[in-house]
Amino acid sequence: MTNTVTIKQLVDAMNDIKVIVGEDNLERHITISDLSRPALELTGYFSFYPQNRVQLLGRTELSFVERMTSDERYIIMKRMCQGDTPAFLVSRNQEPPKELIKAASEKGIPVLVSTRPTTRLSSNVTNFLEERLAERISQHGVLVDIYGMGVLIIGDSGIGKSETALELIQRGHRLVADDRVELYMMDEHRIIGEPPEILRHLIEIRGIGVIDVVNLFGVGSIRTSKTVDLVMNLEHWDRNRQYDRLGNNLENMRFFNVDVPKLSIPVRVGRNLSIIIEIAAMNIRAKQMGYDATETFERNLEQLIKKNSEDV
């Protein structure tokens, strides 16, 4: 099912936008995040008019239509008001042409005005729509902000993901989502995770039940969303399996078309998972900043082997 955003949701989310006409038609749907800034359409060319987008009118567009006669403006505005046009949005708190208000009212299309400059308004609205209209998947796991890195903890049910997240919160890190994480692709390089509305700020601990993280640890212990920078896969210890001991076999986990680094951590009695995950996040960040402890170890080992060979 295609995600949609209503005009009312857009107006409620943007404090700088007000409704000029069309209060009774705010349930019209937006299905495309891109905005349209009419240009050739204002000259009468409608062969490729993106009528199903929000139509953004800035100073340039309004100054152009001011040169027309009232009848010419009305003809153009009437052609721009199509049945699937979501709304018209005017920037810089400019007054919409009365011909636009008339044509939009006849079609039941809202006309909105914002105080923001056109470029900033376009960016803000596009970002909001991209977030709301993006395809989403639900991932079983826990998402925690550790030193600014979004760490998604996954693993079998009952392996200790929530308990580990609780200890990380006690160590000063921040919870994003527990149990279910909603993921969507912000762009070609970023996956964003956030909690379902019903689970926001909550964490479930077996034997205790559901607890409210904000009430226990304060508002500084949570985040509403975070980029997923690392996946930590908790798995039961297998004595017959050879685990990576140097850290040079980093895997990836793909969400949509984005690969996210993934580490598998064996779980056994006596291992402090919260500290291990915390250090893993710090180590990945160090690698991203150009320092790799594995390379340092291998370089030192090569030097030691070379020195011993020379001594022999």
Active site amino acids: 140, 161, 179, 245
Alpha helices in 134-248 (DSSP H): 161-170, 213-217
Beta bridge partners of 145: 150, 174
Q: What is the three-state SS of 123-151?
A: HHHHHHHHHHHCCEEEEECEEEEECCEEE
Distance CA 222, CA 156 (A): 24
Distance CA 84, CA 6 (A): 13
Distance CA 23, CA 105 (A): 10
C-beta neighbour count of 66 within 10 angstroms: 9
Alpha helices in 93-248 (DSSP H): 98-107, 118-133, 161-170, 213-217
Count, residues in the chain: 312
